[in-house]
Amino acid sequence: MTDTSHSPDGALARPFDGPATDAALRRFLDGLPGVDAVGLEQRAATIGTRSIKSSSKAAALDAVLSLIDLTTLEGADTRGRVRSLVSKAITPDPSDPSVPRVAAVCVYNDMVHHAVEALGAHHAGSGGDIAVAAVATAFPSGRASLAVKLQDTADAVAAGADEIDMVIDRGAFLSGRFGQVYDEIVAIKNACRRSDGGHAHLKVILETGELSTYDNVRKASWLAILAGGDFIKTSTGKVAPAATLPVTLLMLEVVRDWHLGTGQRIGVKPAGGIRTSKDAIKYLVAVAETAGEEWIAPTLFRFGASSLLDDVLMQKQKLTSGHYSGPDYVTVV
Amino acid sequence: MTFLDYAPAPESTAILDLKSEYGLFIDGEFVDGDGGSFATISPATEKHITTVQSASAADVDRAVAAARRAFEGPWSRLSGSDRGKYLFRIARLVQERARELAVAESLDNGKPIRESRDVDVPLVAAWFFYYAGWADKLEHAGVGSAPRPLGVAGQVIPWNFPLLMLAWKIAPALAAGNAVVLKPAETTPLTALLFAEILQQADFPPGVVNIVTGAGDTGSALVTHPGVDKVAFTGSTAVGRAIAKQVAGSSKRLTLELGGKAANIVFDDAPVDQAVEGIVNGIFFNQGHVCCAGSRLLVQESVHDEVIEKLKRRMATLRVGDPLDKNTDIGAINSAAQLERIRALSAIGEQEGAERWSPACDLPENGFWFAPTIFTGVDTSHRIARDEIFGPVLSVLTFRTPAEAISKANNTPYGLSAGIWSDKGSKILAVANELRAGVVWANTFNRFDPASPFGGYKESGYGREGGRHGLAAYLASTAGAAVVQTEQATKPKKGRTT
């Protein structure tokens, strides 16, 4: 994983000189090519017409499963619900042990230790294959002091979170304080350090629904990568619209361009609103045809979703049995 | 198998219920002609699809006579709103039979089902809906307060968008109250014959639309027929020129929509990723068999390398193959003759020193195929920068300033279309004003709408199709119509006696 992530001190090739001031960042971000909304949406629509059938569909469904961050982010979350979620992450389909496991479970900060405990030997931190992701930095609004955000992050890391899903300060971004957004990401990245010298992977949530324009999404994507994000993530799931195919396509173009320029691979995570296998497969097509097939891997692409898993399981059952099952044939959390 | 090797997803041809042989559609019936018959084949497999008739001059005569009877009989006496009802009926039937028409089009033409399904057939329906709405509003078409139809229109259409070109020709002609005789292209008659079935289904008055299949001789017989009042042709500039000569000196009205060598201009401030999509759509849409294709890419030198690198990456994801597979992006070249022309011009491009590149792609063994190709380092004097290739071949030229872009874009005998890519609206408007092209797309390419007039400058032809202008091409002002009527009254009605 180390080859796909930045070092926390930001020692990567920077496309501009000098300190990351508002003015320097604005000059750089404004110099990026614009995004034509009609053209972007047209390309996304064409990607959506790809017809993924038979063997390709089976492979795609397995890939989708292995890319899911199985998520519960409710005020009503309890230890019991988190344990139930973890149990489903470990055994997605009790009737078919060959079904791949999801990539991670994603929970609030204070639920991390419950998730780690429930995962036991399956936890990535204990040599298992399921990571624990924690939303932090005053998720979902991000409206708190930097000190609180740093403490929020440090708590989650200390409790065993392998991945931190932070939110950017959209207010600062929209009022042009790019330096502040940048500095905050750098600071949170530092707070992701673990005592053993490693660091939790940082996913930077742009909340594209609040950024409003595709040009803003592109700028915020570059800003997050420049500041050291390992992943760029569309949404918290608490704001509509959440992930859309055009927005994700645009972010995939950014990570492709970053890779072409620096050789580094950054991950992308659409989150919120992806509920069906059919939709998820469209995202896979976008990944493969834009960034490239090597991005179809848990280190570089994730779905933030809660109900998607059930639909994928039902689709898989349909592929093997030839008929549709129903929601009673997949487990509830 | 990698994920990108999508498993085959072929559209079924079971929906087609084709006859083994089709006659000529004259006076509301399929009838035998006396010009012999020929086969239409699938360009993707070279397999036989069906047999169609080759209309002789006498057959064309019968068709024109039937159109004349229909025009002077029920059709011209119908109210505009009743004519509109017939057109609305066609539009709805096209929508109902959309899948069947799309499959037939891809089978006969070789274009990908994605395009026939998502572009051609929906536009066909849109064209009929649009002109159906005009049928009772002709006094607003801009040709005076009491416009009159011209009479019988002889229409000859090409093979690149067989059903769509039929719609572009027939919809405005009928809305204006004309009767028509249409000749589809020799290699792509299938959807026109299915359209004849739709006319029967719509209970059209016999003779209002007649469809005569055949090759160049049939077309020549049609456009020179003295009973034809209006000739509309879409096709090559060479044939268009011949038709203009044949029609010269007669009272026939003529519109020509001919070739093109469109410039697609990418400025350094363009939205690059969408520009790359637009370049791909501009030249690889419909295998480049598009008269308004963006076949000359003019890219600003400062972004040339970036654009070409991204274009090559994108081209590597294009899927060439079975037109009926839902994931195919580029289908078959329409005919062996066209493939030969594309090969010959591409070979000339190499000889002249341009650098040729195609992505690695496996082409099927049977059928007519050509990999998507770009030539970089093309100069304005190269033949591939001047001649219309009409295939999936892009010539890339560079420019340094807007003035140079404009001068290179206009440096062609054609003038059908052009594209401009820039994030700066004022630049787009300023450049568009200077381009001598009938259609200028800004930050998009190859987009069509029935409300928008389409047509060319210079050797790309004259007259406009689409919109109010397209309707006016089938109407005479009251004074003009009176002359036409008088001529018809005194003219020997040749067509009727045979």
Residue A83, pLDDT > 50, answer yes
pLDDT, tens digit, 9 for 90 and up, residues B261-320: 999 999 999 999 999 999 999 999 999 999 999 999 999 999 999 999 999 999 999 999
Q: Which domains does chain B have, with CATH numbers?
A: 21-258+456-497 (3.40.605.10), 263-442 (3.40.309.10)
- Pick the residue with more confidence: A326 or B245? B245
ipTM: 0.93
Interior CA angle at B185 toward B180 and B191, to 5°? 75
Whether residue A285 is contained in a domain is answered as yes
Give me the pLDDT at residue A182, please. 97
In DSSP terms, which residues pair with B180 in a beta bridge? B153, B209
Supply φ then ψ for residue B321, to 5 degrees.
Answer: 160, -155
| Residue A55 to residue A270: CA distance in whole angstroms | 25
Give me the pLDDT at residue B98, please. 98
Q: How many CB atoms sit inside 10 A of residue A77's CB? A: 16
**What's the number of domains chain A is made of?**
1
Residue A8, pLDDT > 60, answer no
| Residue B117 to residue B434: CA distance in whole angstroms | 36
- Would residue B46 show up in a list of annotated catalytic residues for this protein? no
Tell me how far the alpha carbon of residue B316 is from its chain's centroid. 28
Give me the pLDDT at residue A13, please. 55
Q: Is B463 near chain A, with CB under 8 Å?
A: no
Give me the pLDDT at residue A10, please. 42
Give me the pLDDT at residue B2, please. 86
Give me the pLDDT at residue B479, please. 60
Whether residue A1 is contained in a domain is answered as no
| Residue B124 to residue B116: CA distance in whole angstroms | 10
Contact (CB, 8 A) for B287 and B324? no
Give me the pLDDT at residue B372, please. 98
- Cβ contact, residue pair B3, A36, below 8 Å: no
Of the candidate ranges A213-227, A318-332, B77-91, the one whose mean pLDDT is the lowest = A318-332
Residues of A designated catalytic: 165, 233, 269
> Taking the CA of residue A91 as centre, how many other CA atoms within 13 Å lie in the half-sphere pointing to its CB?
10
Whether residue A7 is contained in a domain is answered as no
Residue with tokens 């082409």: B363
Beta strand B475-476 pairing with B148-149: antiparallel
Torsion region of B407: left, alpha or beta (phi above 0 gives left; psi -120 to 50 gives alpha): alpha
pLDDT, tens digit, 9 for 90 and up, residues A141-165: 999 999 999 999 999 999 999 999 9
- Cβ contact, residue pair A40, B274, below 8 Å: yes
Show the DSSP H helices in B251-376 as ranges.
272-284, 304-315, 336-351
In DSSP terms, which residues pair with A301 in a beta bridge? A268
| Residue B115 to residue B119: CA distance in whole angstroms | 5
Residue of B nearest to A45 (CA): B118
Residue A15, pLDDT > 90, answer no
Tokens of B339: 């493939």
Give the one of B270, B327, B444 whose C-beta lies nearest to A50's C-beta: B327
- Pick the residue with more confidence: A11 or B314? B314
pLDDT, tens digit, 9 for 90 and up, residues A109-136: 999 999 999 999 999 999 999 999 999 9
Which segments in chain B show pLDDT lower than 50? Answer: 480-498
What is the CATH number for A164?
A: 3.20.20.70
- Cβ contact, residue pair B3, A35, below 8 Å: no
| Residue B53 to residue B25: CA distance in whole angstroms | 10
Residue of A nearest to B281 (CA): A43
Give me the pLDDT at residue B481, please. 46
Residue A234, pLDDT > 80, answer yes
Whether residue A225 is contained in a domain is answered as yes
Q: What is the dihedral of CA B195, B137, B228, B189, to 10 degrees?
A: -20
Q: What is the dihedral of CA A25, A26, A27, A31, to 10 degrees?
A: 110
Residue numbers of the domain that contains A189: 17-329
**Dihedral sign, Cα of residue A59, residue A62, residue A66, residue A67:** positive
SS3 B435: coil
Contacts of B326 in chain A (CB under 8 A): 49-51
Whether residue A193 is contained in a domain is answered as yes
Whether residue A306 is contained in a domain is answered as yes
| Residue A75 to residue A83: CA distance in whole angstroms | 16
Size of interface A-B (CB pairs under 8 A): 77
pLDDT, tens digit, 9 for 90 and up, residues A40-72: 999 999 999 999 999 999 999 999 999 999 999
The single residue of B105, B257, B388, B459 carrying the catalytic annotation is: B257
Which helix (H) or strand (E) segment holds residue B51: the answer is: strand B48-53
pLDDT band at A326, cuts 50/70/90?
Answer: confident
